[in-house]
Structure 1
Amino acid sequence: MLFSFNNIRLRGKMLIVYTLSVFIPIVVTNIVFYQVTTHHVKQQKTNDMSKAMEQIRNDFLAQIDVAVGISSVLYTDNLLNDAMEKTYESATEYVDAYYSEISPTLYRYTPIYKAIQNISIYTSNNSIIGGGGMLPITSEVRNQLWYQEAMSMPGSQPIVIRNETETYKGPEITYTVARRLNYNKYQNFRNKVLKIDISLDTVSSLFQNTTLQGHLYLINPAGRIDFTNDPDLGWKSKDVSFDSIAIPSGTLVFNQYFNNVDYLRGWRIEGLFPEDEVLKDVHRSRNFVLYLAIPILVVPTLVIIWFTSSLNVRIVRILKHMKKVRNHHFETINQDQYRDEIGQLTNEFNRMTLQIGSLIDDVYLADIERKDLEIKRNQAQLHALQSQINPHFLFNALETIRMRSLLKKEQETAKIIHNMAKIFRKSLSWDHDWVYVREELELINCFLEIQKYRFGDKLEYKLHIDEEAYGCIIPKMAVLPFVENASIHGIEPLKEQGLIDLSIRVCGDKLITTIKDNGLGIEEEHLNEIRRSLETEESIGDHVGIRNAYYRLKLNYREQFKFELDSSRDQGTIVTIELPCHRYREPDQQL
């Protein structure tokens, strides 16, 4: 069976729409955004650390360059070199030369460059008195590493080395720039070595960068640590190799080299930084992305849930009521009037349910009424059959009397007997429930002729019938009971002449019948009682014919007929019946 979205319930469809259109795009977008942001932040942080390391390298190089620059000036100073090469005959001669030629040059730079702690020149000229920056080369000096390194360098290339210098405060660590002063071969008869000391505080201030949360190491060409801001390493009292340091996992390593500088070749700066500290900003950006993603995800989710509930709950309610309709429970949906499609669907469902329920009620009621009418008709026929004693015998007897009256030339008596036989025969025959107005008028004429025969001139009657009315059909004996009631209850009690006026006319699609008499009329109280009994189906005493005729009309026409009964004491009675005008007849069927 092929997959179809039409087989998925609405809640499932909304879940699929939410997952594909909201959840997955938001999650993917935030993941991509987090990855990109993390990469950029990490890259930026790495660049910042690299720049900070580079800045430390450049600052350290600048301090060394200052010392090397001073050494170059002194290296090429002919007056200074001549003064150091000269053999002095007396101390006075040297002192004069010192203050005039050596001291101004030697101490010219110390006040300017605060990083320069001391400038000294060591010489093998025994005529120079040691002091004031001019010191003799002793065996102790020859044993020092800085001196050996400087003397071993070819030419006059400067060297940079960490050194421990004795001061009035005790031994202090300095960073020494040393070089041989052998610029002019004519001034190179004695050994002369320049030593420029840079203070530890100067170097320490360069490495105390507050933006770098880690340890920095200044490493010499031999791989030993000459400076670090790690207080637990103990590098001042012993030689510590950088390779001997255990680097924890999750540590970021940065380095800066001095390979492009001859006198610092092999030197480097190493930086060890905990990854957590470095990526703190990355984690902060991750939290920001997470906090941003939560409302972006939660708000659409709540909106989708609210929207889905608005649809699903109401549609499920409609479905439940439709299932109730299937089980013949025609209940409407009680809710506020909404203007959306589901609200309109609910309103139409309620309207349809009410119409179906009403139609079913009407069909059931009509069927019950039809069956009740059928039962009553059968009962009437049964009563008629039970009450008659051999109707053929009665018809034959009446016909014999009529024939004898004719033989005796009693025409009027024969006519009355004929009318009685016709009424008797019609009242006992119920082959059809519906008759033409023409047939109903034949019975009415027979009845009025008999009454005229009985009362003579006391009774007069008039018939006003439209030609179109003869072809209309009405329930059998729908009019005769009202004519009979007018004669018996209206005219018979009169002492003077009475008049019955019967009018049947067609107005559009309506058949209007009016029975009017000038008899005694009906008291208002009794008239109201008759009207009320017709509405409530109560017994109304002697007016059984009126009640039966009224109910038969109501059963056949329901709400399509109108019945009016007007009467005043001593003013007569008017009965008006308005029926639909039908011009065909279907036996034993309601219209």
Structure 2
Amino acid sequence: MTRKSKSTATRQESTKFRQHVVRISGDVTSYLNNLKLRDKMIIMCVICVLLPIIVTDTIFFSLIYTAVKERQKSEMKNTLDSVESTIGNMSDYMTTAAVNLYTTKELYPFLDDQYSSIHDYLIAYQANSPLLHKVTFGNNTYISKVQIYSDNQTLVNGGGVYRLGSVRDSDWYSRFIESDRQLAVVPIDDSKSEAEKRVLSFVCRMDYNYNNKVERVIKLNLNYNYFMRMLSQQYFAADVYICDSERVIFSTADPNRGTRPYLPLSEVDLPDTKFTSEYDMFGDTWTIYLYPNSYLSSYTADVVMQHGELFFILVIINVILPALAIYFINRSITQRIVILGEHLQMVKAEKYAQMTTSPTKDEIGSLIENYNLMVEQIENMTEVVFKEKIRRQDYELAKQRAELQALHSQINPHFIFNALESIRMRSLLKQESETAEVIELLAVLMRKSTDWWDDCVPLGDEISFAEAYLRLQQYRFGERISYKMSIEDDCIDIMLPKLTMVTFVENACIHGVEGVARNCMVLITAEISNETLVLSIEDTGMGMSEDQQIEILKEMREGDIDSLRGSHSVGILNACLRLRRYFGDDIIFEIDSEPNAGTCFTIRIPLEKTKRSEGGTTDA
């Protein structure tokens, strides 16, 4: 692509972008123009004041919350490290004590020798008793009890030395053997003790470079309460749970402090937490759980309380003052605009009243002043000019109505004469009882033609009236005349001047069918095409010459009241005058005729000029 083509493409893209921006701007402006002024002020307040405040405060508090959360995370990590350190110190102490006993070689002969009597054993025990006290134990140390077991049946149980055979069936020994380790930590429930139900023992094999034929075991019981005191003395802003795979071993939230058996892990409801750690206790995995004591919310509340005055000032500056300013400015604008709108609504009802608000110097005040001036001028004009114009219009309307009624009255005797003539001729030719039906049709025609209350009727009523007239003509002409109607449903309720359609139907019968001896048909159609109501009255009768068409069409389009006196087509001209008065000059008349072939009158009325009946049609 050349540099010139690239430049042209860039300009085209820039033009499209500008057009897109202009279109969007136009759409936004059009939308705002259709909103009430109060809604515009609310939108401006939300977008320009409340939204920035909310976003700013959200970011501000989000930063505070994030900082507090990070601080809590750091403190929880330190707490985990502290708990691990406490466990490590305890583990190191217990391990050191076990190693001291494990490496004391003088104890091995004492534990392995076979004593012939209890007296010999007691002498040996007294001699080796100081070696047993190399490990400090009691209330103020991690060790509550020291027990050494040997597979020597000559030993006497007591004083920290016991026969191994007496505990082979115990729970702690079985679990130690199952672990197959040199040193293991065994938690057990002691049902014999009332004060300490929970026992955590460090069990170690005693086989340090000596006769391994004799099995020896060192068992150091942890001082549970002492360790819990050491754990609780540290400040933890969380509840601490130390668990193995089966039970809760330690918990700062446990008020029992070892006076009850270990709580199985399956019975403890430990919610999900993000603060956990694992500790390897001689092959067993201990899991440390931390549950913060509502620390995050309390710390955030503390921060808010510490800076309460600042937050209060920010609320006043960012919310209350802008809200008050917008309220009073909005009230200053909309209140007077609403009053002005109410007075303008009164103008629609031709009620003119001046606004009595206090004079103001802004644009709305100028608008109110100009409105009052306009009202004063309108009142003056109404008294002098407008009322006179209304009187003239009333006179013209009355005159036109009188003319229409005069035109309407000319149709009635002409039509009734032809109807009566048809009955007379038929009665002379055939003396039959069909006269009753003809009289009924004639009654319908006379009732409709003498109804002076409605100038206009729905097209459906006109069609019914025309059908009654055609049935009357069938009585006269017999099989020489037939008719067909094609009326769209959407045309039925369109209003027409009364007796217009039947006038053209009458013309088709009198001047079309009567002039020939063959059978004829009258076709009436009404349809909507291209937003135009198209009415068509066609007959296959006598037809007319081209000169006759031109003359009649000119009278239909240009005739007036005076033209009726010398016209040969009084009925047609009368109907056309009333149609033009009712629909205006946009109505179109057309004639299509051939001698001895028939005539078609077409009337085209713009649909926008028509009205529809609200109450439907009535049968003719």
Answer whether TM exceeds 0.5 for this pair: no
Structure 2 length as normaliser, TM-score? 0.42
Structure 1 length as normaliser, TM-score? 0.44
Which has more radius of gyration? 1
